[in-house]
């Protein structure tokens, strides 16, 4: 203890405290509790949503997802930074859009990157897909959109028989062959690999494209069944009835406020509110009025009640 510390504590009763021992005891107790609970109840582990599972179990949903992306209906199409150069769509707070500061750092053209490029890999081994891809790329202006509109409408009347998707006949051009190629790619378990094929490292570390592929409908529906949407407190709880990241409750609570929950800038608003709250807490000792709250509230007297009981007793003895 320094000389100054000793001077500051002169006359104040103290007792030894072994921080390392106390920390070790807490660690052991928590470790035992966690291990016992894990053995008794297990851990919620909902499997990842893979292209293989969606293509095999919900082939029509899979085809609708791929067709909508190819038609330019993906929500990423005009999302703005960091994916597309549409700064007007970036979330703003008082005309300040932090997402635009770094610009497009993960450029994505959904029809090209999420459908046509994976099909180009399939075309190396499938002549039908290769021919359909050439026809699609070489189509005159307006034809692809006409084909996609007709195909998406037909998918609403499609059926599945013996694992095969039966789509009513129509003027789809090469789109039907392309979508069947995407379906076979997914069923083979190769969709994610094809989407991340641009990775230059030996191992793919960036799964942005494969995560974005199903984010519009499939992932949203799965999250809804698990009560993990933003309006359902999202990631502040685990899958099922297990508690999760309780420390995120203050953050996820903001998404339950109607003004924020329906706002297109809700994420930025919530982040700004939490940042201000954090800064206020960090600098509370230096903020006038706020730095007096602990003394006014008197909670410290409850925490150190033994000391104040001792002081009151000593004062009564001195004045008796």
- 46: Cβ–Cβ under 8 A, 6 or more apart, which residues? 222, 226, 239, 240
Within 71-131, strands assigned E span none
Number of domains in the chain: 3
The span from the first CA to the last CA of the chain, in angstroms, equals 36
Question: 141 and 202 in one domain?
Answer: yes
Question: Which residues partner with 237 through β-bridges?
Answer: 243
Q: Which of 196-210, 255-269, 298-312 has the highest mean pLDDT?
A: 255-269
Task: Kindly indicate the confidence band of residue 197, based on its pLDDT and cuts at 50, 70 and 90.
Answer: low
Determine whether 18 is exposed, middle or buried from the number of CB atoms within 10 Å of its CB (0-12, 13-18, 19+). exposed
- pLDDT-based confidence at residue 71 (cuts at 50, 70, 90): very high
Q: Are residues 202 and 123 in the same domain?
A: yes
Shared domain for 138 and 173, answered yes or no, is yes
In a shared domain, residues 254 and 143: no
Residues 70 and 205 in one domain: yes
Nearest Cα to 167, choosing from 52, 67, 53? Answer: 67
Q: Give just the sign of the alpha carbon dihedral 63, 64, 69, 72.
A: positive
More confident residue, 246 or 290: 290
Give the closest residue to 179 by CA, choosing from 64, 259, 290: 64
37 and 55 share one domain: no
Q: For residue 160, which phi and psi values (nearest 5 degrees)?
A: -120, 125
- pLDDT at 83 > cutoff 80: yes
Residue 105 sits in the same domain as residue 33? no
Higher pLDDT, 320 or 256: 256
Mapped onto helix, strand or coil, the DSSP state of residue 93 is strand
Region 166-176: what's the mean pLDDT?
91
Is residue 1 very low, low, confident or very high in pLDDT (cuts 50, 70, 90)?
Answer: low
Q: Tell me which of 190, 219, 248 is where a domain ends.
A: 219
pLDDT of residue 62: 94
* Domain hosting residue 29, numbered range: 3-42+284-318
Same domain, 93 and 16: no
pLDDT band at residue 114 using 50, 70 and 90 as cut-offs: very high
Q: Are residues 246 and 209 in the same domain?
A: no
Q: What is the residue-averaged pLDDT of the chain? A: 86
Asked if residue 215 and residue 125 are part of one domain, the reply reads yes
Q: What global pTM score does this model have? A: 0.76
* SS3 state of residue 218: helix
Task: Give the pLDDT score at 47.
Answer: 82
Question: Are residues 102 and 175 both part of a single domain?
Answer: yes
Residues 27 and 56 in one domain: no
């Amino acid at each position: 203890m320094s000389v100054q510390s000793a001077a500051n504590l002169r006359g104040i009763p103290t007792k030894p405290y072994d921080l390392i021992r106390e920390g070790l005891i807490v660690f052991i107790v928590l470790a035992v509790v966690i291990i016992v609970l894990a053995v008794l109840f297990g851990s919620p582990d909902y499997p990842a949503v893979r292209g293989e599972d969606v293509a095999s179990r919900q082939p029509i949903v899979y085809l609708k997802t791929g067709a909508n992306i190819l038609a330019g209906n993906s929500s990423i199409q005009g999302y703005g930074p960091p994916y597309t150069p549409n700064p007007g769509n970036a979330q703003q707070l008082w005309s300040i859009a932090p997402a635009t500061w770094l610009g497009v750092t993960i450029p994505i053209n959904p029809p090209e990157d999420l459908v046509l490029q994976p099909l180009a890999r399939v075309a190396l081994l499938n002549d039908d897909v290769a021919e359909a891809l050439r026809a699609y790329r070489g189509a005159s202006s307006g034809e692809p959109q006409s084909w996609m509109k007709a195909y998406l409408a037909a998918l609403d009347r499609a059926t599945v028989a013996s694992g095969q998707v039966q789509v009513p006949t129509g003027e789809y051009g090469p789109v039907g062959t392309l979508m069947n190629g995407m379906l076979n790619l997914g069923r083979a378990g190769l969709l994610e690999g094809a989407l991340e094929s641009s990775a230059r490292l030996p191992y793919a570390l960036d799964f942005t494209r494969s995560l974005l592929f199903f984010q519009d409908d499939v992932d949203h529906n799965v999250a809804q069944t698990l009560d993990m949407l933003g309006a359902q407190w999202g990631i502040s709880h685990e899958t099922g009835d297990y508690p999760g990241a309780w420390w995120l409750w203050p953050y996820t609570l903001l998404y339950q406020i109607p003004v924020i929950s329906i706002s297109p800038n809700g994420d930025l608003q919530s982040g700004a509110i939490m940042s201000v709250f954090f800064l206020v807490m960090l600098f509370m000792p230096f903020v006038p009025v706020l730095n007096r709250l602990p003394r006014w509230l008197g909670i410290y007297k409850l925490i150190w009640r033994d000391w104040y009981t001792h002081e009151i007793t000593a004062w009564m003895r001195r004045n008796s």
